[in-house]
Amino acid sequence: MTITVTGATGHLGRLVVDGLQQHGITAVAAVRDTTKATTKSVHADYDRPETLVPAFEGTDKLLLISGNEAGRRVEQHRAVVDAAVKAGVGHIVYTSITSADASTNPLAPEHKATEDLIVASGLPYTFLRNNWYFENYTGGLPAALEHGVILGAAGEGRVAAATREDFAAGAVAVLTGEGHAGKIYEVGGDSTMSLADLAAEVTAQSGTKVAYQDLPADDYAQALIGFGLPEGFARLLAAADVSIAQGSLDVVTGDLSRLIGRPTTTLAEVIARALKQ
Ligand SMILES: NC(=O)c1ccc[n+]([C@@H]2O[C@H](COP(=O)([O-])OP(=O)(O)OC[C@H]3O[C@@H](n4cnc5c(N)ncnc54)[C@H](OP(=O)(O)O)[C@@H]3O)[C@@H](O)[C@H]2O)c1
């Protein structure tokens, strides 16, 4: 069986490729820069549709890892789906977002549009609607410890975060298992946290007092711009936080732990590991 993985040079894709290797499957990495790939690779650039059909030929299962250029992804993903049809791909698995069809998250419309394209393509599909990565938060841990504060605009909103490792294991389970065609999995952690919970866990484990400071969305965006983020991205993150306050990521289904056959990694484990790094 040939499994092809797009985005295989990214953080999630690398973990999926490694996970497949542990199942004895050498994935084909369909990537725009083959020099970065750690497995058998073919050139595939979402922005160069002519590269995609040859890249996907002979593929039984294709994992489309969503691109990372918000605002451009529907066009890019359309090229991938069209090429998958032309290449005769047997099954497409797509990394979407929590409640893609109903979410107030500003990133959701592109995922919903991609899901619609995939359904309309007639290809057998599975959607992995990923909740937030824990790594979205642990990346900011050194700064949080230095300043004693975690900033956000998510209010008391709760997030069913999971590690990229767990999301990757879920993707591997779908790619290597049977009975997943036509399924939509709302994948995320087995429990939820608020940003105040995150701050409390960091405080408890590090011994350094870290508080969550909730800001109006505009102020949070301005703070992110002050830290050097491009304005558009800062506003997107602030709007995503507002959607979290509205409950967009407060979704626990158990789908991920069922797929991976074990509980998802907890907040306490994630913070313990992050503090050791
Ligand atoms: N759930 C969450 O919390 C969360 C957070 C962030 C992102 N995401 C989404 O999940 C995806 C995977 O996450 P990640 O952490 O692995 O992201 P990442 O490290 O940024 O990886 C993105 C991958 O997409 C590839 N890519 C981008 N544009 C492409 C193009 N035009 N043609 C072919 N490949 C292209 C990149 O290739 P290069 O290596 O060549 O750049 C990279 O392999 C992201 O792309 C984004 O859609 C989810």
For ligand 1, mutation pick of 9, 35, 68, 243 (most atoms within 8 Å of CB): 68
**Does ligand 1 have an atom closer than 6 angstroms to the CB of 136?**
yes
Nearest CA to ligand 1 atom 33: 45
* C-beta atoms surrounding 62 within 10 Å: 28
* pTM for this prediction: 0.98
CB of residue 45 inside a 6 A radius of ligand 1: yes
6: CA distance to ligand 1 center in Å? 9
**The listed CATH number (2.40.40.20, 3.40.50.720, 3.40.50.880, 3.40.47.10) that belongs to domain 3-130:** 3.40.50.720
Counting atoms of ligand 1 from 1, which one is nearest the CA of 161? 3
Q: Decide: 65 and 96 in contact? Cβ < 8 Å.
A: no
> Which ligand 1 atom is nearest residue 167's CA?
1
Whether 3-130 and 131-161+189-251+262-277 share one fold: the answer is: no
Residue 64 pLDDT level (bands cut at 50, 70, 90): very high
Q: How many residues does the chain have?
A: 277
Q: Which atom of ligand 1 is nearest to the CA of 132?
A: 3
For residue 246, report the distance from its CA to the centre of ligand 1, in Å: 26
Distance 9 CA to ligand 1 centre (A): 8
Q: How confident is the model over 83-115, as pLDDT tens digits?
A: 999 999 999 999 999 999 999 999 999 999 999
11 lines ligand 1 (CB under 6 A): yes
pLDDT of residue 39: 86
- The C-alpha angle 17, 110, 171, rounded to 5 degrees, equals 25
Q: Which residues contact 124 (CB under 8 A, 6 or more apart)?
A: 90, 91, 92, 181, 182
List, for residues 122-172, the tens digit of each pLDDT value. Answer: 999 999 999 999 999 999 999 999 999 999 999 999 999 999 999 999 999
**What digits encode the pLDDT tens for the residues 21-62?**
999 999 999 999 999 988 899 999 999 999 999 999 999 999
Domain ranges of the chain: 3-130, 131-161+189-251+262-277
Give dist(CA 12, CA 31) in Å, integer: 13
Asked if residue 125 has its Cβ within 6 Å of ligand 1, the reply is no
pLDDT of residue 163: 98
Give, for ligand 1, the residue of 16, 65, 98, 165 to mutate: max count of ligand atoms closer than 8 Å to Cβ.
65
**What topology is assigned to 131-161+189-251+262-277 in CATH?**
UDP-galactose 4-epimerase; domain 1 (3.90.25)
Give the number of the atom of ligand 1 that is nearest the alpha carbon of residue 32: 33
Backbone angles phi, psi at 193, to 5 degrees: -135, 150
Q: Is 33 in the pocket of ligand 1 (CB under 6 A)?
A: yes
CA pair distance 216, 55, nearest whole angstrom: 46
- Mean pLDDT, the chain, whole residue set: 97
Query: Quick count: other Cβ atoms within 10 Å of Cβ 26?
Result: 12
